[in-house]
């Protein structure tokens, strides 16, 4: 085994989170960075090895990102499914208050949004300025995502820090289809 491969957790048993990480040639901080990077890159096999070795699926990395937030945002369905199955909490927020669902609403990844919603993700969890996943979907023209979130119970009338709601945003953008859908949704909820 080369010096490089002996330092790569793919070529050796991962060191358990509570064990002396330095004994394996890595500090705990380095192991955590490798784990987070596996999530960012969607390497489900490596993530599984880290989780088997005792890594916390809800570990906080730079800017408060969790493995689930990173895997979700980057579009890795298998990694997201694995993390959720292994105990990742879908509503943890990063330093700006964004959840995994907010990231996928922005990106428009319906498959991951469904996984998160099925795992109990809050459909209306606002970020630090009060924006919800539905608002992000509307702002970035993700109509199918907005429809999915509305069907899951997202509120089109919840207001953000600028006193705007998803209905206002759709109207401002001239999105008549979403505007009509959200108006219908608010009437049905009354």
Express each pLDDT in 37-75 by its tens digit: 999 999 999 999 999 999 999 999 999 999 999 999 999
Region 128-152: what's the mean pLDDT?
Answer: 97
Token pair in block for residue 141: 């023209």
Q: What percent of the chain has pLDDT over 90?
A: 81
Q: Which of 106, 111, 113 is nearest to 139 (CA)?
A: 106
pLDDT of residue 190: 62
pLDDT of residue 185: 76
pLDDT of residue 97: 97
Q: Where are the alpha helices (DSSP H) in 65-126?
A: 67-73, 77-85, 100-107, 110-118
pLDDT of residue 11: 39
Q: Spell out the residues 6+ positions from residue 62 whose beta carbon is closer than 8 angstroms to its own.
A: none
User: Is the pLDDT confidence value at 138 over 70?
Assistant: yes
- String of DSSP letters for 37-60: HHHHHT-HHHHHHHHHTT--TT--
Q: What's the pTM value of the predicted model, to 2 decimals?
A: 0.85
pLDDT of residue 15: 44
Could you say which DSSP state residue 168 is in? H
* Domains along the sequence of the chain with CATH: 56-189 (1.25.40.20)
Region 6-13: what's the mean pLDDT?
Answer: 45
Region 160-168: what's the mean pLDDT?
Answer: 96
Backbone angles phi, psi at 7, to 5 degrees: -95, -5
């Amino acid at each position: 085994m080369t010096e490089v491969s002996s330092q790569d957790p793919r070529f050796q048993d991962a060191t358990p989170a509570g064990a002396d990480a330095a004994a394996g040639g890595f500090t705990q901080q380095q192991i955590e960075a490798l784990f987070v990077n596996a999530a960012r890159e969607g390497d489900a096999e490596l993530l599984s090895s880290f989780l088997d070795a005792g890594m916390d699926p809800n570990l906080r990395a730079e800017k408060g990102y969790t493995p689930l937030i990173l895997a979700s945002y980057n579009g890795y369905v298998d990694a997201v499914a694995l993390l959720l199955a292994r105990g990742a909490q879908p509503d943890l927020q990063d330093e700006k208050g964004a959840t995994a669902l907010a990231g996928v609403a922005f990106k428009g990844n319906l498959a991951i949004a469904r996984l998160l919603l099925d795992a109990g993700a809050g459909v209306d969890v606002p970020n630090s300025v009060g924006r919800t996943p539905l608002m992000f979907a509307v702002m970035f023209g993700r109509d199918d995502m907005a429809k999915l979130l509305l069907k899951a119970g997202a509120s089109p009338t919840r207001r953000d820090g600028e006193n705007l709601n998803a209905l206002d945003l759709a109207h401002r953008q001239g999105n008549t289809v979403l505007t009509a859908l959200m108006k219908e949704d608010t009437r049905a909820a009354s």
